Structure 1
Amino acid sequence: MALTVALWGFSWIAMKSLTGYIGPFDLVMSRYAIAFLVLFAVLLLSRQPWACPRPYGLNLWIAVFQTSGFQCLCQLALVTGGAGQVVTLAYTMPFWAALFAWLILGEQPTRWHMLGFLLAGVGLVGIVAPWRGLGSLTGSLLALAGGASWGLGMVLAKKMFQRYRPNVLTLTCWQMFLGAVVTFPLTLIFPQRPVVWAPELFWGVAYMSVGASALGWWLWMSVVRRVSATVAGMSSLGVPILTVVLAWFLLGERPTWLELTGVGFIMSGLLVVNLAPVLDRSRG
């Protein structure tokens, strides 16, 4: 999970920088198409099963909500919103995931989970600071919708692992393929900006494809398989924390005391949620 956070933390900066070189849907489709080719080659070389996991319907819905829907909505949000603002709003995902996990998987949050949610929620409010305005309303709503879409898709992926136990690398590979297929019609329906062929585009897409998509989503699916949907969702809050830190050191965007306090609350919430089983046993 720590490596996933690192890969995805850098990816938000890369995605924002690429908005001037390629359209949002073109970027999502190309990164997933390349990631599929990379992972399929790994499957063949490692002699792992490469057939698309069943059931196909559930596999497709995971791609619609988590793989494609989340990325497309957030990429659109980045066109009008700042990277820090968008990533923070998108990472309301753990709260959506907890709700969907309760409704779909029956994972009822414990009192420790609720305390962790409260601490993390206070932290997110401190970072977003809605009283200062949310920037572009459209971008904010798109980012929130992206978080909800990812939360639902992640819970469906957890359901896939619980009931059908697919090979993680194989499922991730076909998620990249389905993500590209689902996104392709959007590149035709919605006008895209002309592609600017530049070295920045090449390196940016290479990182987004191999690092953030192929490796990042494989690691993420490995986490989802091993822990509850609630814990996986809360653990992903490390990404907006890292984004704040990267913006500080790489972009000179010094965080305010309120943002640093928000980071502290989120880290406290993560600690409580991940230690919830131990805390429950100690009280029992």
Structure 2
Amino acid sequence: MSCTAPEMRSLRNGATTVTYAVTGPTHSQARTICLIASTGRGPEDFFHLATHLAAGGLRVVMPRPRGMGGSEGPLDSIDFHDLAGDAAAVLRAEMGPGGAIVTGHAYGCWIARTVAQDFPEMIDGLILLAAGAGKWPEELSQAINTAMTPDAPEAERLAALKMAFFTEDHDPRPWLQGWSGDVVRAQRAARGRTDRDSWWPSGTAPMLDIVGLQDPFRSEADRDFYLREFGPRLTLKLVNGASHALPDEKPAEVATLMLDWIGAL
């Protein structure tokens, strides 16, 4: 399936301008799903996945984080709730009657969970894509630092992407682009600023946890990390041949899992 470029829109959320991509049927005809990107990255990582989701009947919205490509707003002294508010504003503008689905990729899972916690009346389901466990090796965080540094030697950046994000048979080169160091730093600081108890419960909606079997941020011992946390509220699905860049590596397979789960809600 070819990737169709979504339409770009923008809105105001208090002092912040949020730009976002949208594709799929109109909100009066379809359930809306919001996809929140991983640390320091934007909605482009979701475009192939979004094409499959839209073909499956969903209206897909993908906010760009503040500090990137037209999304502008305070980056100092923000926390998860500020970032969740931006995503919720996009959902509120684009969703039709009834609730929506909120989805995060990697770091975006924390923001999606905060949306589900802060705006439970909007959310019918919460999906985690490549969510890390409680802890992971420090070398993986360092690999992100290397991958996002444009002045680092390309060979080192590609090696970092292969170690932390991609399986051997997937080309990491497109991910040399699309990073914002300023956004990464602001998002990391936001994590440290946010009281864990204020977002960890993740609302009350059913949850789907999709994990790549080759994802180093989720070791075999931690595959059931969120099952242990949330019990029968959560469904765990595993995807072989995928690492931490799961939705970009396996968009068709991930979309099928998402659509089947959403259809059964």
- Which structure shows the higher strand fraction? 2
Superposition TM-score tier, normalisation by shorter sequence? under 0.3
Q: Using CA pairs under 8 Å that are at least 6 residues apart, name the structure with larger relative contact order, 1 or 2.
A: 1
Which structure has the larger Rg?
Answer: 1
When normalised by structure 2's length, the TM-score is 0.27
